[in-house]
Amino acid sequence: MPRFRQILDSMAPYKPGKAVAASDGRSYKLSSNESPYDPLPSVVEAIAEGARHIHRYPDAGAVKLTEAVAERYGVPFDHVALGPGSVTVQQQLLEAVGDPGAEVVYAWRSFEAYPLLCDLAGVRSVRVPLAGEDHDLDAMATAINDDTRLIFVCNPNNPTSTAIRRAELESFLDRVPEHVLVVLDEAYREYVRDEDVPDGLALYQDRPNVCVVRTFSKAYGLAGLRVGYMIAHEPVAAAVRKTIVPFAVNHLAQVAAIASLKAEDELLERVEHVVKERTRVREALIAQGWTVPHSEANFVWLRLGERTMDFAAACAVEGVAVRPFAGEGARVSIGDPEANDAFLTAASTFRG
């Protein structure tokens, strides 16, 4: 038999959100953090036109999309690096820093892909337990040592939905050595409404060791096309561009992302509807007697402990798929009102 890397024997693959169906066929997929809306007509039109050219390789440098992102955020062109989804941009970052013996620090529980990415890159994960549902930034700072090369800070945090405020995050960044790269994972930035939760792009400007990673998968509704980007100082962005697989961001993804930026006002109206539904769902859950952290993302979190899998099964009976983390809790994405109502019914029934 061929010999494979030993890490593969102990590495659990990433598990995407599943769909379920009730006995009557009803099915509401709230197990993945996707937009509940269909693509905008203008974006679909751009994709259809772009399909005429899929016999050609995509622009390997994604120059037009890079220009569009740089213009949107008022940053230099060479501060932008792209990848097929923000998770792959993070993988590119780990490839750039992952010398043997390197360590990567992140909160746990946080984004489920962090351990997988670290294992694949051959770096050691240093998981710092959450303080309740929040990052314990003091403990994360204490975990930094001479082997630390990178720190992931998921803000808002997936799956607990909570966000770090400005003073706390700035104080943490001040404690991080300049040679350690801090990755602000802001996949849910468009859903943030707390004005005290800082925009990472305001923080990176004076901090060469800070980068911001975002995605077109959530608020922009392009989860099926996979487009992510990073904004950082030129040496960091250049390192990420070196580690990308050639032609990784496909032609239709580039076209759709540019069209989405042009239609951003219309898309952000949809985001506002999701935010309003998030508030409605959380308030309804609290009225039922649940304890629900304040969410700044497009999902809510229920700390269920040993009841987690029973809760997921009860939701499935109603045709509602949630994302359970056994022994910890369940993440429930915000869908359209019908899906959210079905979830609230399931939650009320489970609580009794």
Average pLDDT, consecutive stretches of 10 residues, N- to C-terminus, the chain (352 residues): 87 84 92 95 97 96 97 98 97 94 97 96 97 98 98 98 98 98 98 98 97 97 97 98 95 98 96 98 98 98 98 97 97 98 98 86
Q: Are residues 28 and 157 in the same domain?
A: no
- Assess contact for 164 and 153: CB atoms under 8 A: yes
Structure-block tokens of residue 235: 């040496």
Q: Which pLDDT value is given to residue 72?
A: 98
For residue 268, give its domain range.
Answer: 6-39+263-351
Q: Are residues 246 and 300 in the same domain?
A: no
- Residue where a domain stops, chosen among 214, 245, 262: 262
Intra-chain end-to-end CA distance of the chain, in Å: 54
- Assess contact for 115 and 125: CB atoms under 8 A: yes
Q: Are residues 290 and 195 in the same domain?
A: no
Residue 116: which CATH number?
A: 3.40.640.10
Name the domain count of the chain.
2
Q: Is residue 1 part of a domain?
A: no
**Please, which residues have CB within 8 angstroms of residue 289's CB and are 6 or more apart in sequence?**
351
Q: Are residues 95 and 220 in the same domain?
A: yes
Q: Are residues 33 and 49 in the same domain?
A: no
Q: Which pLDDT value is given to residue 17?
A: 87
Ordered strands of the 299-303 beta sheet: 299-303, 329-333, 323-325
Q: Are residues 34 and 47 in the same domain?
A: no
Q: Are residues 318 and 256 in the same domain?
A: no
Q: Are residues 213 and 298 in the same domain?
A: no
Structure-block tokens of residue 18: 């599943």
178-216 burial string, b = 16+ CB within 10 Å, else e?
eebbbbbbbbbbbbbeeeebbebbebbeebebbbbbbbb
Q: Are residues 199 and 80 in the same domain?
A: yes
Q: Is residue 124 part of a domain?
A: yes
Q: Are residues 124 and 245 in the same domain?
A: yes
Q: Which pLDDT value is given to residue 13?
A: 80
Entry pTM:
0.96
Q: Which pLDDT value is given to residue 30?
A: 98
